[in-house]
Structure 1
């Protein structure tokens, strides 16, 4: 007996949710599909929900088990870099010092790793906060982005907050939950707290603190630059989503699919078109099938309101991928760059194959983010 098309479409959506929101949200999507439609197209003779789930998931239950490597799950082949072994810390330490620490506040506890370049002599230096994507950790993200190597070249610190499986079974930052979208609460308070702890323990130039992320990490970076403009001077968002685009699972899935937004988050309804507060550089592949490319243009839209200055350049020499690069200066003088990378998937552009979710073809997103960041200190 053949499953109907609508139900199969719901299952495909659930699988993609697993990548950016985690297995609990994917399971909820499956349960919702079971409640609203018959998988086999008719009520008569339809199997029980348990039989439907059994037909869709592997017999060993590996899809939602945390101890099974993602490369062994049914959809691993569609995830760039996931079949590779996660790097060891020694792979990414370079000549500097890469240490593991823990921070705690009223919202909970998070581990983080801090890279201090070999040139650091307690002089004021920039700090870049890097938020990993789902299924990643600090070592994986550092290896894939090669941000520590750039820290050696330019002399800045790199901070990697780590999302534990206790907070999200797939280690996704919970960017779509109202409790994790506000300053002083939830995950934003933890990320900001870790940032301030590093600023207190090292000689960080407070005018040159930046934040960046990939996918779910990019979506959380968008939250952070909106909620903490006094802390972060600029943000880099790769394959992410705009602040305030979702407030629960259905709205998150709609935003990921590129559907028309009916409004921003209930927490911050006008956020999506508010006057920009800080510079942003955005990267998105136009063949990203996990987070729709329209999310990249939506992040730049607030900069284009009113008498904005705009310039566009196109290049076929991106180290492999052609790209369209848009420069925008908002009416209030805040800059943005948007790199639409042609033929690129849901992966960090110009990244190393030693990390997951990377695309070795350029442009080099890490180098371009660093260039953009260092050109945009905060002016107090």
Structure 2
């Protein structure tokens, strides 16, 4: 019996080694419905190896989604770089992306303050990023709270001040509004602010028929170049190959040489950008992949000449003289629209939905899971947010893996005991 059991010992030792290797990653998990003192729902992720004074990313979901849909976008990057993630829950079908220092936007700043207090986060490294409705909310947050956010990344949104739907879907982007007028919509939200504005990263696809590329992306660029005080003369162009698209990038630096605005366009990519391998490049722009941030880049990241190669987020980049870039986004619901009286009008489907793997929308749709598919129309807004509810990747839960290993060891021991008997 003793001899037979000795043969089990190496297997047990091997299992112990595996369990020890897995166990550090088991500790970090999402905390849901965190009580931070506000009514808007808050989920929180603090990695095992968190920085002593970590950065914070507010990860904002799309229409018809929920906080859980935004969990996976930055989680592996938070594990790698030690920052904290906040995933808010919209109070309705969409976030209320009205630029104002109140409502859901104010609640999100309270979430940030909670993390700063409870987890000693760095108040100078707080960022927002989102897709679709979350992209619109990102524009609203960095417009309303430049004193809280160091930067934002907008994956297929509308300019700050163009969202008209509240917690429902709706936007109005007048084609004739000037850059100064778009900039004024940002400045009037917090007229007393005199500090440095958040850095901005914009992404859009030319085939986006949900939050249409035209006129939204040109209006976003006009807005933020005006607010940040930069122009084509301050820019350089580059291109890089992402996991699925080639992105044309224009990088704008201010008089101090700081990268303050980055615009990214990919030809023929539709609305949903959440699954296009861009999140690592977002982290690069924020500078959260470096500690401390590089000199002269303010709160965040690289020089804007290329994408991050990790997780398919980009490859090598080539720079050239100042010029405009073309480009595209990805995935998303279909939309039909027209332009009248200087405003974009139309309607669209709110994003294809499916279980695992999702369905493809008839007009440049997205692979999705769990979205609704309402269609609304309005005279002054495209009324669909092409939500792109990405399905689960089907990865085996770590807890299940441990259970299988333990069960296997138990079976081995039982077999040895029976043979000994």
- TM-score over 0.5 (shorter chain): yes
Cα 1:265/1:187, change in 2 over 3 Å: farther
Match of 1:174 in 2: 96
Quote the RMSD (CA, aligned, Å).
Answer: 3.3
Among candidates 99, 115, 120, match of residue 31 of structure 2? 99
Cα 1:133/1:285, change in 2 over 3 Å: same
Contact 1:99/1:115 (<8 A) preserved: yes
Match of 2:44 in 1: 114
Contact 1:312/1:326 (<8 A) preserved: yes
Tell me how far apart the structure 1 counterparts of residues 248 and 265 of structure 2 sit (CA, whole Å).
5
- Determine if the alignment matches structure 1 residue 372 to structure 2 residue 285: yes
- Determine if the alignment matches structure 1 residue 254 to structure 2 residue 172: yes
Match of 1:289 in 2: 209
Matches within 5 A, 1:74-223: 96-103=28-35, 109-120=39-50, 123-143=52-72, 145=73, 147-163=74-90, 167-168=91-92, 170=93, 172-176=94-98, 181-183=99-101, 185-223=102-140
Contact 1:104/1:110 (<8 A) preserved: no
Cα 1:269/1:225, change in 2 over 3 Å: closer
Match of 1:310 in 2: 235
Contact 2:67/2:89 (<8 A) preserved: yes
Match of 1:329 in 2: 253
Tell me how far apart the structure 2 counterparts of residues 211 and 269 of structure 1 sit (CA, whole Å).
19
TM-superposition CA deviations, 1:161-202 (whole Å, max 9, x none):
111xxx32x2x00114xxxx311x211111111111111111
Cα 1:148/1:268, change in 2 over 3 Å: closer
Cα 1:371/1:264, change in 2 over 3 Å: closer
Deviation at 1:138, TM superposition (A): 2.0
TM-superposition CA deviations, 1:265-291 (whole Å, max 9, x none):
9976867xx998121111111111101
Tell me how far apart the structure 2 counterparts of residues 95 and 366 of structure 1 sit (CA, whole Å).
23
Tell me how far apart the structure 1 counterparts of residues 118 and 145 of structure 2 sit (CA, whole Å).
20
Contact 2:138/2:152 (<8 A) preserved: yes
Contact 1:211/1:236 (<8 A) preserved: yes
Among candidates 309, 320, 327, match of residue 244 of structure 2? 320
Structure 1 gap segments, 5+ residues each = 1-92, 352-359
Deviation at 1:240, TM superposition (A): 0.9
Tell me how far apart the structure 2 counterparts of residues 245 and 330 of structure 1 sit (CA, whole Å).
26
Cα 1:266/1:155, change in 2 over 3 Å: closer
Deviation at 1:125, TM superposition (A): 1.0
Match of 1:299 in 2: 220
SS in 1 for 2:197: coil
SS in 2 for 1:130: strand
- Normalising to structure 1: TM-score of the pair? 0.59
Contact 2:162/2:172 (<8 A) preserved: no
Tell me how far apart the structure 1 counterparts of residues 31 and 169 of structure 2 sit (CA, whole Å).
37
Tell me how far apart the structure 2 counterparts of residues 285 and 160 of structure 1 sit (CA, whole Å).
25
State the structure with more CA Rg.
Answer: 2
Contact 2:43/2:67 (<8 A) preserved: yes
Contact 2:135/2:154 (<8 A) preserved: yes
Deviation at 1:233, TM superposition (A): 0.8
SS in 2 for 1:283: strand
Matches within 5 A, 1:232-243: 232-243=149-160
SS in 2 for 1:114: strand
Cα 1:124/1:248, change in 2 over 3 Å: closer
